[in-house]
Amino acid sequence: MSKEKPFEGLTALVTGASRGIGAEIAFVLATRGASVLVHCYSSHEQAAKVIERIRGIGGDATLFRADLSRSEDIQKFIASLGARRGFVDILVNNAGSLIQRTPFLDLTEELWNRVFTLNLSSAFLITQAVLKGMVPRKRGVIVNVSSVAARFGGGIGAVAYSSAKAALSAMTKGLAREFGPCGIRINAVSPGTIDTDYHRQFSSPQALEGVAKATPMGRIGTPAEVADVVSFLCSEEARFIQGQVLEVNGGFLMV
Ligand SMILES: NC(=O)c1ccc[n+]([C@@H]2O[C@H](COP(=O)([O-])OP(=O)(O)OC[C@H]3O[C@@H](n4cnc5c(N)ncnc54)[C@H](OP(=O)(O)O)[C@@H]3O)[C@@H](O)[C@H]2O)c1
């Protein structure tokens, strides 16, 4: 293992790696030597570009596809990983979305459940499957991608999303307690407002401007700024960090 490639010989699974923050996480882990299992759902072309980018730097990447907002598809995804799921060293549960901004009084149980399946249950089920391989090997790192919304409830129309992310942060801490003694580190990052398709879909330019103004750093963040923190959490430099939810938000919210 070299200093430039600390993840050489390790396999990383990154969900939601076709675009935005996940694509950047997959790339950064690959630049540091990891073989990456790239998960995508609907963005096939963008996922193919992520694979191409990783192979372009001499890295190794394999594509998997699944809708993680439906329980049956999560189970099929886990099955499709085959023997590889027993050898995942780094798991990043990044796939997530608020799916549809919906005022609370219009929120259906169906949408509530889909948001929870995508943002919480997928992380639960994939983590459980991967931990079964990590525990006997007594090593592994898991990073969950939560959200600043978990801290303040999110914007209007995001109650299900912010609730699911808050549960994901709590799950991170519970797992860290249970699996720390097995040599497995589990943490989360909590991005603030990051410049991705997420905001092209769910936020107005005025709202983004307002966030930038309210942020001590004077701007919103980039996917690479979150990916670098995830990579740090996966590294030996973070070997005594356990059960933490690291805020990456330019000072927008200080906790
Ligand atoms: N951007 C922000 O400001 C921000 C802030 C806080 C937290 N986050 C969190 O950071 C993570 C990444 O967000 P992002 O900003 O990079 O969002 P994004 O650009 O919209 O990308 C979302 C990723 O999640 C995947 N995904 C969405 N719905 C899915 C489904 N039903 N099944 C499987 N995968 C699905 C997408 O896959 P396909 O495109 O292939 O379908 C894509 O790879 C999410 O968990 C999000 O909640 C983002």
**Half-sphere exposure at residue 69, Cβ-oriented, CA atoms within 13 angstroms:** 16
In a domain, 253, yes or no: no
* CB within 8 Å of 240: residues ≥ 6 apart: none
33 CB under 6 A from ligand 1? no
154 CB under 6 A from ligand 1? no
Q: Is the pLDDT reported for residue 71 higher than 70?
A: yes
93 CB under 6 A from ligand 1? no
198 is catalytic: no
Q: Is the pLDDT reported for residue 23 higher than 70?
A: yes
In a domain, 3, yes or no: no
Q: What is the pLDDT of residue 172?
A: 99
At 168-194, the pLDDT tens digits run 999 999 999 999 999 999 999 999 999
C-alpha 212/C-alpha 220 separation (Å) is 5
C-alpha 6/C-alpha 25 separation (Å) is 15
Q: What is the pLDDT of residue 2?
A: 80
In a domain, 188, yes or no: yes
In a domain, 1, yes or no: no
Catalytic position from the list 27, 41, 77, 161: 161
Name the residue at shortest CA distance from atom 46 of ligand 1. 96
Domain that holds residue 117: 11-248
In a domain, 196, yes or no: yes
CATH number at residue 240: 3.40.50.720
Task: Among 196, 204, 246, name the best residue to mutate to test ligand 1's pocket (greatest count of ligand atoms within 8 A of Cβ).
Answer: 196
In a domain, 6, yes or no: no
Among 203, 183, 182, smallest CA distance to 192 is for 203
31 CB under 6 A from ligand 1? no
In a domain, 129, yes or no: yes
In a domain, 42, yes or no: yes
At 142-176, the pLDDT tens digits run 999 999 999 999 999 999 999 999 999 999 999 99
3-state secondary structure of 145: strand
| Degrees, nearest 5: CA angle 133-136-139 | 80
| Degrees, nearest 5: CA angle 242-220-45 | 85
Q: What is the pLDDT of residue 1?
A: 67
Number of domains the chain is built from? 1
Q: What is the pLDDT of residue 233?
A: 98
pTM, rounded to two decimals: 0.98
| Degrees, nearest 5: CA angle 47-186-171 | 90
CA dist list (Å): 95 to 26, 118, 239: 12, 7, 25
